[in-house]
Structure 1
Amino acid sequence: MVAPHLATPHDFAASALRIRVTDRDAVRGIEPGTAERVSAPLDTVLTLELDGAAFALGVAADELLLAALGRTVARTMGEGVVAVDVVRDGRSVPARVDLICLGERQLDATGMVVMAHRVLTEVSAGRADGHLGDRGADVDVLFNYVGTTPARTATPPLVGHALELRAYRDGGLMQVDWWFDSNRFDHATVQEFAEQFPFALIELTSEATPSV
């Protein structure tokens, strides 16, 4: 169950600590040669687990992936809120959301999934802060769910962000690419994100119960 004071993302986000996810500050905007990638595709078992859980919980796959991102940040960088630009189809204008990043002691698996569902429902309904260009300059993280669109047809990586989680289908498997600006991230930090993400996803898919 979601704790009463975390009934909506906005309730928590209004007073929560803002987390810095980058290792260091740098001039915003990607310089040639600084965009790097850590590729960490989900295996067959975890892809099936993701799809099965999405069906059982009545949510979309990207909602589970976004919830797993929140849990991953909490485990690696600390608890709080991170501003994230969200794209749900690989092509639309990014919408800024506040992603709640909490460990299981603060918010259980069901609560994390409910949070992500509500956040992305606002995006789909056009209630999130859609923007282009400079209005998103203060957002370091991009969650880009390309879905079944071939990755080669999607937008170039990062587009000004320091970190992009790009998820897409390839050969039936869910591919997860972590693009990062090497001026602002150490490779080891992003590798830790990539390693923790499947564990966070398994926790959510195995422990969350239908509630949306």
Structure 2
Amino acid sequence: MNTTLIGKQAPNFTASAVLNGKDIVQNFTLEQFKGRKYVLLFFYPKDFTFVCPTEIYAFQEKKKDFEYRNVKIIAISTDSEQSHWAWLQIPKEKGGIYGVNYPIVSDINKTISHNYGVLSGDWICNEEGLMKSTGELISYRGLFLIDKEGIVRHLLINDFPLGRNINEAIRMIDALQYYEKSGEVCPANWIKGKKAIQASHSGIIDYFSS
């Protein structure tokens, strides 16, 4: 059975989130951006950890590059919105993520992570009929590029120790937007400004013979 989200509507959610690094809201939705913006949705395992802040700050440093491309960055973990808020108040040199101002969503019920296929661990029912977890129920490092129609066009899921390349996320956005504008497809290692391929047999021949 094909369970990938590629080419499908991104699962909507309504959840608590911290906006602008300080404001807690209760009804943050993905759907609000449909028809208006692309979304770069990324999951990370835990607040107050080691690899996670390097990624969170790396996305913040490139925030203007994403905004230039009409992309909304949204982060999610299974921590509470209060945990997110507390981490956001702590300076970088003390292990916090102060200064990050894109939305950080709380998936405290694990449902968003489950629906996107990035939740580690599992629930099982033992012989006594009691539910128990196997492994820690937190998010892998999932990344999803969602177009303006709400369709997932790219995804990447890393294990916990493996941080992501933010420039690669930008490259994929450029490739998607170039394809939408020109109808040409983007070959391996394509970057903005380089030659693409016309979506026809002759176009492929022209590309590889050039």
TM-score (normalizing by structure 2)? 0.29
Higher RCO, Cα 8 Å, sep 6+: 1
Structure with max Cα Rg: 2
Give the number of the structure whose residues are more often helix, by fraction.
1
